[in-house]
Amino acid sequence: MKHKKIGILGGTFNPIHIGHLVIAEQALAQLQLDKVYFMPDFIPPHIDAKTAIAAKDRVNMINLAIENNDQFGIEMNEIERGGKSYSYDTMINLKKAHPMNEYYFIIGGDMVSYLPKWYRIKDLLSLVTFVGVDRQGNSHMSKYPVKWIKVPTIAISSTFIRDSIKSNKNIIYLVPDKVLTYIKEHHLYE
């Protein structure tokens, strides 16, 4: 079996936006990954869980956003497993299924300072290499090893998209066109 370098971009994707797509593409190119999987969580492991819409809609929007890129895929492990989506549990499953894969877990710079709070972080570090992507003024200080990549900073978040829709503002170009149409047709975030 061929050894593969696989990127994992975990998130709630509520909804997916161009920030996610740009960081996935940059990680793929800069680290010469074979593929990047967008991995929607079922229940985010944070204590203050976000108000995410149904998994089905989040998954449909990811599929619409990545459909033209062969090097992007969707990893459904957390949705299929249900419950709280601890990355350690997920990566144990993925490593068992694909022992030859080398995993790069891509996270926004804002997440890096939060790593010490992740479930079984030390064990998780033996399963993945964390890839940090700068996001509005985060620091590069970390207790744990993080491979930083330089990416043009894009100050877009799913929160911004949801808030814009609620206040009737335009989100054109912030999400792919097909995602925009899906959001409108399904009256999401209104």
Ligand X SMILES: Nc1ncnc2c1ncn2[C@@H]1O[C@H](COP(=O)(O)OP(=O)(O)OP(=O)(O)O)[C@@H](O)[C@H]1O
Ligand Y SMILES: O=C(O)c1ccc[n+]([C@@H]2O[C@H](COP(=O)([O-])O)[C@@H](O)[C@H]2O)c1
Taking the complex as a whole, how short is the minimal distance between the CB of residue 6 and ligand Y, in angstroms?
14
Interface residues for ligand X in 133-162 (CB under 6 A)? Answer: 133, 135, 154, 156-159
| Residues 6 or more apart in contact with residue 44 via CB below 8 angstroms | 12, 50, 52, 84, 85
> What SS3 state is found at 69?
coil
Return the residues of window 128-187 that contact ligand Y according to CB under 6 A.
none
In the complex with ligand Y, the residue whose CB is nearer, 7 or 44, is 44
Burial of 41 (0-12, 13-18, 19+ CB in 10 A): buried
Contact positions with ligand Y (CB under 6 A) in 92-111: 111
Handedness of CA 6, 108, 70, 188 (dihedral sign): positive
**How many alpha carbons lie under 13 Å from residue 89 in its C-beta half-sphere?**
14
23 touches, from ligand Y, ligand X, none (C-beta below 5 to 8 Å by class): ligand X
At closest approach, how far in Å is the CB of 88 from ligand Y? 6
Q: Does 101 bind ligand X (CB under 6 A)?
A: no
Among 6, 8, 13, 188, binds ligand X (CB under 6 A): 13
Cα(128)–Cα(162) distance, rounded to whole angstroms? 31
Alpha-carbon gap, residue 129 to 147, rounded angstroms? 7
Decide if 42 contacts 82 (C-beta within 8 A). Answer: yes
Binding partner selected for residue 119 from ligand X, ligand Y, none, CB under the kind-specific 5 to 8 Å limit? ligand Y
Q: Establish if 23 lies at the interface with ligand X (CB under 6 A).
A: yes
Any idea what DSSP says for residue 117? G
Q: Which of 6, 7, 11, 53 binds ligand Y (CB under 6 A)?
A: 11
> Of the two residues 86 and 182, which places its CB atom closer to ligand Y in the complex?
86
Shortest-Cβ-distance residue relative to ligand X: 108
* Structure tokens that stand for 60 in this block: 């449909």
Residues that bind ligand Y (CB under 6 A): 10-12, 39, 41, 44-46, 85-88, 111, 118-119
Residues that bind ligand X (CB under 6 A): 11-14, 19-20, 23, 50, 107-108, 110-111, 133, 135, 154, 156-159
